Each structure stands twice: as structure tokens, then as C-alpha cells.
Amino acid sequence: MLNATFAAPDLTTFCRLDELGLEAVGQRLEPDRAVIACRIVERDPWCRKCGAEGVPRDTVTRRLAHEPFGHRPTTLLVRVRRYRCEHCGRTWRQDTSKAAPARAKISRGGLTWALTGIVIDHLTVSRAAAGLGVSWHTANNAIIAEGKRRLIDDPHRFDGVTTIGVDEHVWRHTRFGDKYVTVIID
């Protein structure tokens, strides 16, 4: 007998797409990846130039690498609606900034997964890139930018820190000359 506390399976909630403003509408499992078809939940029909309501024109798709599920990379295939203003003639797309930054290849959920894996689980960039199904350079650039945005650019990152310790060390007589390292601990 099933437990009454179970709910119907929901791919949107399971993959945390609701946090990105997306809703899963389909899935396809390929041998090397999982592809989840998504649509943006929030409508965006108002012209940013004149404020008139636009008419749906067509849709385009945006591919985003997402956090892996089932030990395979997951790709989000986001269906983005395009609108055209009948009043001023301007065209625009639905806002996808909640799901990923502009021109990004990795979703915000994928960036969080990769950054957590590198900082907490000591994952390498190569393994994070393989988990996301993107190239090393794509993963590295995105992870560095996200780490800078979350960790370095945070004005409150030193709140609660009372002392900072600095230790320097040098290795002499290595094959490639002297090697130096500086360790900073709060």
C-alpha cells in the first residue's frame, strides 16, 4: 500500500527548475545526456519601449547546461517566446535572466552545482565540466565569474572575521626553480 504522504512525480520540482522560473514540459534520455524541454513560466508581453502589449511572434530555443542528474549531464532546452509590438514595431524575447545570465551557456543551478563541487567537495574544473557536459574553458570562465560575483564582490564577506592569518612558504631546489605559496586563514 502506498503511503498517503507521497505526491505525484514532478520533474520541475525535482530538477529545481521552479527556482529558475522554468517549467518542465518534456524529457528525452540520450545515452550521453538527459535533455529537459522547458518553458518560461512568467509571460513577458509588454513592450519595453512604449509599454503597449505585444503579440506573440514565434519561439526560439536556448540550450543551457544544468546540474547533472543520474550521473549524466543534463541540458535544458528552454523555449523562449518572442513578441512584436504592433504599436512601435519593436521585437523582444521573454526574460531568461532568472534561469541564466545573458549569453551564458550554463544555468544558475548548474553554476551553483559546479561552484559547490569545487569549493566544498574539491572537484576539479575538468570533472565539473564533464558533469555539466561543456568544455573546460566554458566551465572555468563561468565558475570564476560566479565565484567572483558571490565570494569576492560580496561587501559583507568579512563580517564576523576578527583575525586574518598569513603564512608564506618557499620550496627551494625544485626542478623548475623556487616555488612560493601564500596561505590566508581567517
Cα separations in angstroms, 10 against 7, 24, 66: 8, 9, 17
Domains held by the chain: number: 1
| 60 is a domain residue | yes
Average pLDDT over residues 73-85: 95
1 has a pLDDT exceeding 60: no
For residue 39, give its domain range: 11-185
| 144 is a domain residue | yes
Average pLDDT over residues 100-114: 94
If phi > 0 it is left, if psi is from -120 to 50 it is alpha, else beta; for residue 16 that is left
Q: Mean pLDDT score of the chain, rounded to an integer? A: 89
| 6 is a domain residue | no
| 177 is a domain residue | yes
Q: How far apart are CA 52 and CA 175, in angstroms?
A: 69
- Split at pLDDT 50, 70, 90, the class of 124 is very high
23 has a pLDDT exceeding 60: yes
The pLDDT of residue 186 is 66
Q: Nearest 5°: CA angle at 115, between 111 and 116?
A: 115
| 2 is a domain residue | no
- Of residues 72 and 175, the one with the higher pLDDT is 72
Q: How far apart are CA 156 and CA 161, in angstroms?
A: 10
Q: How far apart are CA 148 and CA 159, in angstroms?
A: 17
Contact by Cβ (8 Å): 128, 97: no
- Split at pLDDT 50, 70, 90, the class of 73 is very high
pTM for the model: 0.78
Q: Residues with Cβ < 8 Å from 12, sequence gap 6 or more?
A: 18, 22, 23, 24
Average pLDDT over residues 33-38: 95
Q: How far apart are CA 153 and CA 169, in angstroms?
A: 28
